[in-house]
A and B are shown apart, each in its own frame.
Chain A
Amino acid sequence: MAEEQTPPSPAPPPPAAPQGRSVDEIKRDPLVASAVSRVDDAVLGAKELVGEITLFFDRDRIVEVARAFKDAGFVYLVDLAGVDYSKYPGHTGARFSVSYTLYSFQKNARVRLRVWTDEQSPIPSVTSVWRTANWHERETYDMLGIQFSGHPNLERILMWEGFNGYPLRKDFPVRGIDTGARIYPEVFPEGGGPKAGSTGKDVKDVNIYKGEWKRYGQWPVAQIGGGAAPAKAPAPKPAAPAPKPVAAAAAPAATTEEDADV
C-alpha cells in the first residue's frame, strides 16, 4: 500500500461525534462505514463514548475484520488489551474481552474493535495482519490466559515460563501467590519467595533480617482462585512438614535496636 507510508500533514481531529447514536448510525459513520460494509454480518454491536467508537465483532472472524479495517486505512495497530470482566458489576456473558485499538493515518482517527472470549476459546491471532500484534498477544496471554490460535510463538513474555497463574485475572490475589520457586528451601519448605502471600509485617521483617530465619515464623501461602485475603495470623499448614520448631505466634513483635538500623 503506497498511501500508508507518507501520511499527509494530519487533518485536524474530527469533532466528537454526538453521543447516544444507535448501532446502525455508528456503523454508518464515515470513519468505519467502508470497512464495516465488508464484514457487516460479523458486527455484534457498537457503542460510543467520548468520541471513541467501539465495535463488537464475532471472535472467529476477527482476522477477516482486521484485514477489512487495514485495507480501509487502519494500518497501525496501536494497542491490544485484554480485560477480565468476571467481577464487573452486572456483567453476564463471556469472561474476557480483547480490545484492538486501530489508527488510520489518513483519517487521523482511532477505532476500537472488541471481541469476547472465555478461558478455553482461542481468538484467531491477528499477527498475520499487523506484525506488532505478536508481543501484544503474548502479553495478553501471559497476563490473562487468553488463548490466541495461529500465533507463531505464544509463550509467556513478562512472567517467567512455568509461572502458575495469570496475574491480571480478577481472582489472582494482588499480593501474589506461592510461585513454587524454592529460594530458601530450609526456610520455605513449600517453596515461594519472600513476598509470596506474606503479610505486610513479614515483609518488613525480611527487610531487617539479620539472624536466623526461623525466628520469623512460617510463611502463609496464598490461595489462588479464592481471592480472599489470608487471615491475619495464619496457622501453620498442617500438611507442611515443619522442619524446625517454627514460632509463628511467638515471632518478636517489636524489633530490637540492632535489627532496625540495617
Chain B
Amino acid sequence: MFDVHEMEVNFGPQHPSTHGVLRVLLKIDGERIIEAKPVIGYLHRGTEKLFEHMAYPQCIPHTDRMDYVASATNNLGFVETVEKLMGITANIPKRAQLMRVMLSELQRISSHLLWLATHAIDLGAMTPFFYTFREREQILDFFESYCGARLTLNCMRIGGMPDDLPRGWLEDVEAFVDKFEACIDEYESLLTNNRIWKKRTIGIGVLSPEEAIDWGITGPPLRGSGVEWDLRRAQPYECYPELAFEIPIGKNGDTYDRYLVRMEEMRQSTYILKQCFPLVRATPAGDIKAKISKVIRPPEGEVYHSIESPKGELGYYIVSDGKTQNAYRCHVRPPSFVNLQALPAMARGHLVSDLVALIGTIDIVLGEVDR
C-alpha cells in the first residue's frame, strides 16, 4: 500500500517562483525530490554572438541585459576587461574609479534587496517585499538621476565614465546611506529570528566548502559555505584596495547562512559607500575619463577578467585579433549559470516547497543564465 510512486513533474517555466523562465524537471516521490533537472535556454538571445558583431562600446548596453537587476556590475566587468586588454587600467582617473565603485555597491544593495523581497515572498513572507522595494525604489532613482535609466543603466564607458555626478547626487546618496542601515535592521527584525523563516531555511540545501568549490560556486553561496573569498579582496580592481570592508561568511552552508551573508553584505556595502563620499569630494570634478583614442582597437591577444557581481564571479573572456574594432570572441562567465548547476545536488531529498527556497537562495537571473 505504501509503495514508492515516482512521478515526473514540470516546475516552470511559467512559474512565479522560478524568477523568470527556468524549467525544472522534477522526479518526485510524493513530495520528496528524487531528481531535479534544470532546463534552461528560454531566454537565450545570443549575446555572445552579438558581441562579435559590434564595436566594443556598442557592447556595453548588451551587457545590461544579462543580469538585468545588476547592470552596473555587468558594465563594470566588461569595460574593465577591455581596459585590461588595452593596458589602460592604471590610467582611469580616481574619480571615475570611485564612481564605478559607488554605482556597483548601490547596485549590489539593490540586487540584494530584490533577492530578499522575492526570496521572502517565495517562502511565504509577504511583508519584506514592501519594505525592500521602498529602498530599492530610491536606489533606482539615484541611477535614474545619474544616467537616465533605472535598470539597464549603460553607465560606464571604456576609459572612464560618461558623465560627472549630477549636482546634489552625493548628498542624496549620503542621506540615503545614513538611514539605510536602520532599514536593514528592520528587514532582519522581520525574518532573522522568525520561527517560520528559520524552519524554512535552516538545513536546506547544505553545501560543503569542497562541494561548493567543485561546483564552481561563487559569491554569497560560496561565502555562505564558509569560504572567505571575495574578488574585491582577492583580486582587487578599481580602488577597492583603499576601502575597508569585511567579508561575511557562513558556517553551515545552508539557506539561512546564505541569507545572513547577503544581509551582512548590504551592511558592508553601506560602509564602502560611506568611505567613498569624502574620497569623491577630494577629487577634481569632471576628471572622469582617461585619455584614450576614440576608436577602441585593443591589441591582439586574449584576456580574462572578472569582478564580484552581486551574484558571484562575473568574468569576461575576450579574444581580440588586433585588427578590428570588435571582439573576435567574447565569452561571458555568468555567476548565475554556474551556481544554478548545483541545484540538482542541493535539491536531492528535499521537498518540492524547498526547491522554491533553493532557487531563491542561489539568486539566479535567467537573463544571465541564458544570455
Residues of A at the B interface (CB closer than 8 Å) are: 1, 4-7, 9-10, 13, 49-50, 52, 54, 75-79, 81, 83-84, 88-89, 99, 101, 105, 108, 110, 112, 130-132, 134-136, 139, 143, 156-160, 167-168, 172, 174
The residue from B302, B338, B371 contacting A99, defined by CB atoms under 8 A apart: B302
Does B333 contact A79, Cβ atoms closer than 8 Å?
Answer: yes
With contacts A79-B331, A132-B338 known, is A158 near B216, CB below 8 A? no
Does A158 contact B213, Cβ atoms closer than 8 Å?
Answer: no
CB-CB under 8 A from B53, the residues of chain A are: 174
Count B interface residues, CB 8 Å: 48
Q: Majority SS of interface residues in chain B? A: mixed
**Residue among A1, A135, A136 with the most chain B CB within 10 A?**
A135
With contacts A9-B228, A79-B333 known, is A168 near B49, CB below 8 A? yes
Does A167 contact B213, Cβ atoms closer than 8 Å?
Answer: no
Confirm or deny: B235 has a beta carbon within 8 angstroms of a beta carbon on chain A. Answer: yes
Closest 4 CB pairs of A and B: A132-B216, A81-B331, A5-B209, A158-B41
CA distance A205 to B214 in the complex (A): 49
Does A6 contact B209, Cβ atoms closer than 8 Å?
Answer: yes
Confirm or deny: B215 has a beta carbon within 8 angstroms of a beta carbon on chain A. Answer: yes
Does A157 contact B234, Cβ atoms closer than 8 Å?
Answer: no
CB-CB under 8 A from B216, the residues of chain A are: 76-78, 130-132
Does B44 contact A159, Cβ atoms closer than 8 Å?
Answer: yes
CB closest residue in chain A, given B50: A174
The residue from B49, B217, B303, B331 contacting A52, defined by CB atoms under 8 A apart: B303
CB-CB under 8 A from B333, the residues of chain A are: 78-79, 81, 101
CA distance A4 to B228 in the complex (A): 12
CA distance A4 to B222 in the complex (A): 13
Select the stretch in B158-166, B195-203, B255-263, B311-319 that faces chain A.
B311-319
Expressed in whole angstroms, the minimum distance between the Cβ of A39 and any Cβ of chain B is 21
Does A158 contact B341, Cβ atoms closer than 8 Å?
Answer: no
Question: Could you list 9 examples of A-B contacts with CB < 8 Å?
Answer: A6-B209, A50-B87, A78-B304, A83-B329, A99-B317, A101-B304, A157-B40, A157-B41, A174-B53
Does B41 contact A159, Cβ atoms closer than 8 Å?
Answer: yes
The residue from A1, A50, A172 contacting B303, defined by CB atoms under 8 A apart: A50
CA distance A159 to B41 in the complex (A): 6
CB closest residue in chain A, given B341: A135
Confirm or deny: B346 has a beta carbon within 8 angstroms of a beta carbon on chain A. Answer: no
CB-CB under 8 A from A99, the residues of chain B are: 302, 304, 317
Confirm or deny: B227 has a beta carbon within 8 angstroms of a beta carbon on chain A. Answer: yes
CA distance A52 to B305 in the complex (A): 10
Confirm or deny: B287 has a beta carbon within 8 angstroms of a beta carbon on chain A. Answer: no
With contacts A6-B209, A79-B331 known, is A52 near B304, CB below 8 A? yes
CB-CB under 8 A from A143, the residues of chain B are: 48
A78-B313, A158-B41, A174-B53 known; 12 new pairs, CB 8 Å cut-off, are A5-B226, A7-B229, A10-B234, A75-B213, A76-B213, A101-B304, A101-B317, A105-B213, A132-B341, A159-B44, A167-B46, A172-B49
Confirm or deny: B85 has a beta carbon within 8 angstroms of a beta carbon on chain A. Answer: yes
Does B41 contact A78, Cβ atoms closer than 8 Å?
Answer: no
CB-CB under 8 A from B16, the residues of chain A are: none
CA distance A172 to B46 in the complex (A): 12
CB-CB under 8 A from B48, the residues of chain A are: 143, 168
CB-CB under 8 A from B235, the residues of chain A are: 13, 108
Expressed in whole angstroms, the minimum distance between the Cβ of A98 and any Cβ of chain B is 11
CA distance A174 to B210 in the complex (A): 40
The residue from B85, B227, B317, B370 contacting A81, defined by CB atoms under 8 A apart: B317
CB closest residue in chain A, given B317: A81
Expressed in whole angstroms, the minimum distance between the Cβ of B310 and any Cβ of chain A is 18
CB-CB under 8 A from A139, the residues of chain B are: 337
Expressed in whole angstroms, the minimum distance between the Cβ of A115 and any Cβ of chain B is 14
CA distance A13 to B84 in the complex (A): 15
CB-CB under 8 A from B49, the residues of chain A are: 167-168, 172, 174
The residue from A81, A89, A160 contacting B323, defined by CB atoms under 8 A apart: A89
